[in-house]
Homo-oligomer: A and B are copies of this chain.
């Protein structure tokens, strides 16, 4: 599988169940959210602007896309309020080989800042991302169970490699079955 096929399989609306595990405190977090993943044209002004900022050209970009998410976490349930989660990120893949490269992200996953992820797609179709942020390193894996269900796991480590802060796992179900 190459990155354009991975993006193409991911386009659509997804209902997500996500569990976070804080290892040090043995705490669970449960998050229910909706994701919308849209393919974008290379000619969209926001894509052009983001390429300009990052120093890449339109010719290098492959299947740029955006992710919008909106959800609720039970993290604060004990305090009588739920944590609202909402966000939007542009993602632009740049290939280095058929099954590897980088993804420019306007907003990161572990930290809400611009980030560059390395990706690699294995022979069984799992995509691996590794992203170095200011304080943390995030390692993610995404794989499809079938065309309507995908799984996503992540591990967040502190930048000094001394500890694993959190793991998480999401089951994502396509809202309109294909």
Spell out A's residues near B (CB within 8 Å).
15, 17, 19, 21, 23, 26, 28, 30, 32, 122-124, 126, 128, 139, 145-146, 149, 151, 153, 155, 164, 167, 169, 171, 173
Which of B21, B122, B171 touches A167 (beta carbons < 8 Å)?
B171
Known A-B contacts A17-B21, A23-B17, A32-B26; A153 and B124 likewise in contact (beta carbons under 8 Å): no
Q: Are B145 and A155 in contact, with the CB atoms below 8 A?
A: yes
Which of B19, B126, B146, B164 touches A19 (beta carbons < 8 Å)?
B19
Q: Are B155 and A151 in contact, with the CB atoms below 8 A?
A: yes
Instruction: Tell me the complex Cα distance, A161–B167, Å.
Output: 29
Q: List 19 A-B contacts (CB under 8 A).
A: A15-B26, A17-B21, A17-B23, A17-B28, A19-B19, A19-B169, A23-B149, A26-B32, A28-B28, A122-B122, A122-B123, A122-B124, A123-B123, A124-B128, A145-B167, A149-B164, A151-B153, A151-B155, A167-B171
A139 and chain B: residue at smallest CB distance:
B145
A73 to chain B, nearest CB (A): 12
- Contacts A19-B21, A19-B169, A151-B153 known; list 18 others, CB within 8 Å: A17-B23, A17-B26, A19-B19, A21-B169, A21-B171, A23-B171, A26-B32, A28-B28, A122-B123, A122-B124, A126-B126, A139-B145, A145-B155, A145-B164, A146-B164, A149-B164, A151-B167, A167-B169
